[in-house]
Amino acid sequence: MLVAAIGAGVIGRLEESAILLLLFSLGHGLEGLATDRARNAIRALGTLTPKVARVVREGRDLQVPVEELAVGDLVRVMAGERIAVDGEVREGTSAVDQSPITGESVPVVKEIGDDVFAGTVNGDGLLLVRTTKLASQTTMARMVKLVEESQANKGRTQRLTERFTRIYTPIVLVSVPTIIFVLTTFFGMTFADAFLRAMAVLVGASPCALVISTPSAVLAGVAQAARSGVLIKGGMHLESLGMVRAIAFDKTGTVTQGRPDVTDVIAADGFTARDVLEIALALDEHSSHPLALAIVRRAKRDAISAREIRDVRAIPGRGVAGMIGDSRALIAGPRSFGKADFPQLTAQLQAQVDALEAQARTVSIIALGDRCVGAVAMADQVRPDIAKTLARLKSLGIRHLVMLTGDNPKVAHAIAAPLGIDEVKAGLLPEHKIDEVHLLMKNWGAVAMVGDGVNDAPALASATVGIAMGASGTDVALEAADIALMADDLSKLPFAVGLSRRARRTIMQNVTISLGVVAVLIPCALIGVVPLSWAVVLHEGSTVVVAFNALRLLLYRDPT
């Protein structure tokens, strides 16, 4: 553009030169306005965290810059305030709006012991938070840093266009003297007219729109994803997710919630379900075992209190025993009963236990004295609405859904069957998951792997795109995955896939517009149909169209 403007001025066509520079500046300004909108969407993430915190020191509240906070400092958060630090709640209860981090639309209740994140908004309660991370290490700070760095992680289309323009641009510049020579020598044109026509060709051939066609779309796509709780670490991964045809899921913590819950309470003859839970709670309420915690949660939900118990002790490898009154209370797996000093299961209770285990339930038997009181069955529950999520992925063009798990086949198939999962691979070690991912890539091309970002890291790294679940506050997940769902929410996955598909379409549209305009302008400028000023108008117009077309990604919403 500058070469053409200077050239027009040198031959005395100052009005042409002025129009060229005016239109170029106008187009460049509009292009900058569009791309700044996308950049501002990213910068806005960084402005969400307060600059000062109310720190409790020696019984007084002091306003301290967040950069000066140390791990262990106690920060008081008033109702309606943004939380200034990543930390753990030490006092108080409140509903916290975590949408800036996780994209969750519903506030999450935070109690003593729960984690909170800088940049989130406190509700009506008063919280006292113990700082667990420095200001530079908060989840929000790392998100902003990774999103900014993602612009350097270029996609395949952007790399191709950059290689193309590195060769194309010098060829166009070198061709200008050749065009002038041919027009003056073989077509009898004056030097001034031939020069202006060559300048029009130079303007028409300029690849400005092509150069910004991909990075502008990537910038807008990554920004919109981050605002919705999905961290995409670069254009390469945004484009790759748009090409995915098969997705593999880890089971525990991904398809399921990752913790057992009580599904059935069975009472033996002469007892009630309340008796079963009262005794089970007495034995388990001080245990940290996942099955014990499931029983405690169920008893709390049903407002059941534990019976008085003494001499509680663990029976290694079996269960827990204690004394309720003069009778010995037991909780253990069904295989322990009928052996040593464990009472025998009745035929009816044994049949019920067998039926529950056939449904992939884990069963604990409760006994009092020489009688079995009943049984409690537990299972890791699937995530709510996961069937809808998987159906939505199918509607977006995902052809094959696979569950990869180290669990036994009976449990895996029982969970996968009602969800519409196409294939189940069970009993896998981490290295076997890598092999399965490679096989999927051989059969389906681009494959995404969804896991928790820690124990699935090898499989995540092997897939075309690795997607980590629940990455808020998890350093390993943020670093290991290509894409991180910041909330522990699989329903964000269809949004991410839909956005990436839209971004790929936008990139293809932009490249087509860019190359199409260049392909039309070069011959039209060469034969004189399009003068220099109109070449600038059309060229800059295409650049602005490309920029604003990319900006539409900031408006993308999941249709569901």
Any residues with CB less than 8 A from the CB of 418 and at least 6 apart, and which? 387
State how far the Cα of 108 lies from the Cα of 98, in Å rounded to an integer: 7
Measure CA 511 to chain center. 27
How far apart CA 549 and CA 556 sit, in angstroms, is 12
What is the Cα 49 distance to its own chain's centre? Answer: 20
- Determine the Cα–Cα distance for residues 480 and 197; give it in Å rounded to an integer: 54
Using an 8 Å Cβ cutoff, are 53 and 85 in contact? yes
* Residues forming a β-bridge with 130: 74, 88
Q: What's the helix, strand, coil split of the chain in %, to 5?
A: 50, 20, 30
Task: Tell me how far CA of residue 550 lies from CA of 12, 151, 213, 543, in angstroms.
Answer: 39, 15, 8, 11
Contact (CB, 8 A) for 363 and 375: yes
By CB atoms closer than 10 A (0-12, 13-18, 19+), residue 251 is buried
What is the distance between the alpha carbons of residues 118 and 69, in angstroms, rounded to a whole number? Answer: 13
CA distance 390 to 255: 10
Which residues are part of the catalytic machinery?
250
Distance CA 270, CA 371 (A): 10
Give start and end residues of each alpha helix (H) in 381-531: 386-395, 409-416, 430-444, 457-462, 475-480, 492-526
**Cα–Cα distance measured from residue 237 to residue 308, given in angstroms and rounded to the nearest whole number:** 57
Contact call for residues 497 and 241 (beta carbons, < 8 A): yes
CB 98 within 8 A of CB 492: no
Q: CA-to-CA distance for 539 and 545, rounded, in angstroms?
A: 10
- Which 3-state string (H, E, C) describes 343-383? CCCCHHHHHHHHHHHHCCCEEEEEEECCEEEEEEEEEEEEC
Number of Cβ atoms within 10 Å of the Cβ of 57: 10
- From the list 461, 270, 440, 293, the residue with the least C-alpha distance to 369 is 270
Q: What distance lies between CA 60 and its chain's CA centroid? A: 40
